[in-house]
Amino acid sequence: MMMLTEKLEKLKALFAEMGQALIAYSGGVDSTLVAKIAYDVLGDRALAVTAVSPSLLPEELEDAKIQAATIGIPHKIIQTHEMENPNYTANPVNRCYFCKSELHDNLKPLALELGYPYVVDGVNADDLHDYRPGIQAAKERGARSPLAEVRVTKLEVRQLSQQLGLPWWDKPAQPCLSSRFPYGEEITVAKLQRVGRAEIHLRKLGWQNLRVRSEGDTARIELPPEKIKDFVLMTDLQSVVAAFQEFGFIYVTLDLEGYRSGKLNQVLNQTLSA
């Protein structure tokens, strides 16, 4: 089994071979590690690019800016328009394919225009074992995934980030807001904003690792199972309900199973096994 230090050296060698690289940079722990290593090897020949759309929380964009500035890597922000694609807003099971298609249809020509021969992303080895149709869209457009190529797992991403002194090594995963809706429910800008405001509200109350799932007029709060009791005892539940209703929800519920990444994909597994 390859040691962590060996994987880091392989990542560095990979970027050295590239010579120049544009990083699809969301500000999450994976793409931030990629940006850090790329900048350490390539300096200003590495460029981090963040795509802004209604499915990205404004707070996440601010984090991305701060992290890029801390690393030192040049950082560019572009707009993407997946919300104009009915294949995306209809929220089919392969919604992420259309999102990543839009992203890389913008990144690839930008990279060529600016003289970067490679576009790389933050896909890690564990992502390859989950249902991620967006990975296929990126591959079709020639993107590379250094973490996956070197078989770096999510745990190792955090270990490497901590080892390299990145203060956000334990930052909770924050996929796009569209992942909060069950497949088949139409996604609108208003719904995305409603979910985003609800999650920000809970984070300001001190709850960081969470999801607010949206189904029709109902908000379902997901917290780690060990945090559910504390949430019920320590939170003014009526004020949370009032805030969520102000955001546009009618019903507010708490998921007793607790937060689990990719939970909405369980309907796919049930369908496949039926």
Domain 4-163 sits in CATH 3.90.1150.10: no
pLDDT band at residue 273 using 50, 70 and 90 as cut-offs: very low
For residues 178 and 211, give the distance between their C-alpha atoms in angstroms, rounded to a whole number: 12
Fill in the amino acid letter for 38. A
What tokens were used for 235? 């939170």
Mean pLDDT over residues 69-77, rounded? 98
pLDDT at 71: 97
Q: pLDDT (tens digit, 9 = 90+) per residue, 192-212?
A: 999 999 999 999 999 989 999
Q: What's the length of the chain?
A: 274
Mean pLDDT over residues 72-96, rounded? 97
pLDDT band at residue 1 using 50, 70 and 90 as cut-offs: low
pLDDT at 268: 60
Q: Is the pLDDT of residue 84 over 70?
A: yes
Query: What share of the chain has pLDDT > 70, as a percent?
Result: 95
- The pair phi, psi for residue 11, each rounded to 5°, is -65, -45
Architecture of domain 177-268 in this structure: 2-Layer Sandwich (3.30)
Question: Does an H or E element contain 162, and which?
Answer: helix 154-163
pLDDT at 271: 45
16 versus 262: which is more confidently predicted? 16
For residues 178 and 261, give the distance between their C-alpha atoms in angstroms, rounded to a whole number: 14
Cβ neighbours of residue 220 closer than 8 Å, sequence gap 6 or more = 212, 213, 214, 253, 254, 255
Mean pLDDT over residues 140-161, rounded? 97
pLDDT at 131: 87
pLDDT at 164: 97
239-272: b or e for each residue (b if 16 or more CB lie within 10 Å)? Answer: ebeebbeebbbeebebbeeebeeebbbeeeeeee
Q: Is the pLDDT of residue 18 over 80?
A: yes
71 versus 208: which is more confidently predicted? 71
Do the two domains 4-163 and 177-268 of this chain adopt the same fold? no
pLDDT band at residue 2 using 50, 70 and 90 as cut-offs: confident
Mean pLDDT over residues 140-163, rounded? 97
Q: Is the pLDDT of residue 267 over 90?
A: no
In this structure, the strands spanning 46-52 and 251-254 are unpaired
pLDDT at 274: 45
Domain boundaries, the chain: 4-163, 177-268
pLDDT at 262: 65
pLDDT band at residue 272 using 50, 70 and 90 as cut-offs: very low
Could you report how far apart the first and last alpha carbons of the chain are, in Å?
37
For the full predicted model, state whether its pTM sits above 0.85.
Answer: yes
pLDDT at 264: 61
Task: Classify burial at 11, counting beta carbons within 10 Å of its beta carbon; exposed 0-12, middle 13-18, buried 19 or more.
Answer: buried
Q: pLDDT (tens digit, 9 = 90+) per residue, 219-255?
A: 999 999 999 999 999 999 999 999 999 999 999 999 9
